[in-house]
Structure 1
């Protein structure tokens, strides 16, 4: 009688316990080299002795498996290389902050303790080349005479002063480059140096630099200074 009570009590107590939680094991569906050889061995054990497997087929299977394994390993290495290159690009891009980039623009930046510089793109010989600087009211404040120039990048500097030699307020000023080409008065494209304030590293666009004039890709920058 006592044993029956103990047994009943034990069964009742066991029913109150939390069931043991089975931790599921992670299933890895990836076939490894040893799995391939196990399959190959199994295949050989079931082959017909009167029709043995063709050696060329066996070699082809082994070659295909080796190539697949090599490509998979190569892909993982390329992913690691891409991550490393992205990190290196971000590190290199950070060193551009504070430098100046020569960008195609029709404005020039003037500020305290800064040299305003630009370049004119001349594709043919030009005579009487000038750079006109205008304020935000479109008023002419300074004219820089660059005389006759041969094809190439013609540099110019502006000290931030007007025609009377007075220092002008900081800001962006419009510029116009004009000259005589084949006897005709012609407007020419200009580029100016802009301060790089920040950079972005984008997958599709690569490195993008940010200036007051806007954002441009690093590949569109003509020169860094």
Structure 2
């Protein structure tokens, strides 16, 4: 009778271990009676496994005892599971710290002028907001077309050959004849030749960071003075 009770206990522990690994639970009564065994934490899994191992040792066949190498292997596997769980906890904590640090650093950028994706350029009193392009590869014949509100090209900025990456552009807002452009909002577009093929590089426009908006993902968005809101990772350059 005693042996049968012990074996029944082993089966119960085994079922708890299987439930723990699979992330499932039994009936409501079993769950309340064995809440610690059904926990998905590594420590609970390790405790359940050790209970099962002790029960197996108590009920092993004396003529065919458990292989010590198998027991060592099983213990090593449980330690691996525990180590992975601890590593996940550490990485989660590190990610939280990095997110908080990134948000703090982004807040320090308020008031800075940056280049971000966009194509609208403001001209006022002979001055214009900064512009630029993003090249996916080394390019030749890089050009930026400046268009007025009517869609007419008023000037073309020839940048020639440029390396891959972000290319800030300094320019004086004049038309093709050298006349100062009237105040207003203009649109820019870019063309280039990359790896022998025509390409349309992404254009960048300058703006001041007016605020920072934390996101649920942890990566902050920045509010720009031109009314746009972009992710901090989209900021191509800080001027």
- Normalised to the residue count of structure 1, the TM-score between the two structures is 0.59
> Residues 28-177 of structure 1 correspond to what in structure 2 (within 5 A)?
28-29=36-37, 30=39, 31=44, 36-109=49-122, 116-119=129-132, 123-125=139-141, 132=146, 134=148, 138=150, 149-152=159-162, 153=167, 155-158=169-172, 163=179, 168=183, 173-176=185-188
Deviates more, 1:211-220 or 1:66-75: 211-220
CA RMSD of aligned residues (A): 4.3
- How many angstroms does 1:32 deviate by? 6.7
Name structure 1 gaps, 5 residues minimum. Answer: 1-25, 182-186
Answer 1 or 2: which has greater helix percent: 2
Give the unaligned 5+ runs of structure 2.
Answer: 1-33, 194-199
Output the CA distance in 2 between the equivalents of 1:177 and 1:68.
54
For the 8 Å contact 2:99–2:218, the answer to whether it is kept is no
Q: Decide which structure has greater strand share.
A: 1
Distance (Å, rounded) in 2 between the aligned partners of 1:121 and 1:41: 64
1:89 and 1:154 map into 2 onto residues whose CA distance is: 24
Give the deviation of 1:52 after TM superposition: 0.9
Corresponding pairs, count: 183
Q: TM-score, normalised by structure 2?
A: 0.56
1:209 to 198, 222, 229: 222
Separation (CA, whole Å) in 2 of partners of 1:44 and 1:189: 68
- CA drift of 1:109 comes to 3.2
